[in-house]
Amino acid sequence: MSWQAYVDDHLLCEIEGNHLSSAAIIGHDGSVWAQSANFPQV
């Protein structure tokens, strides 16, 4: 499974009527491994 699939399929899924509006997996060096389409990068 790719990190992008993990974000899309697991972090943004609905759980007990709640869901995240955006999510990302960021490396220790600040590099983006995966992110949702509406995740704002600063």
Q: 22 to each of 35, 36, how far by Cα in Å? A: 8, 6
8, 36 contact by CB (below 8 A): yes
pLDDT of residue 14: 87
The CA-based diameter of the chain, rounded to the nearest angstrom, is 34
Q: Which residue has the higher pLDDT, 29 or 42?
A: 29
In whole angstroms, what is the distance from residue 36 CA to residue 22 CA? 6
26, 4 contact by CB (below 8 A): no
Per residue in 1-41, pLDDT tens? Answer: 799 999 999 999 888 899 889 999 999 999 999 999 999 87
Q: Which pTM was predicted?
A: 0.77
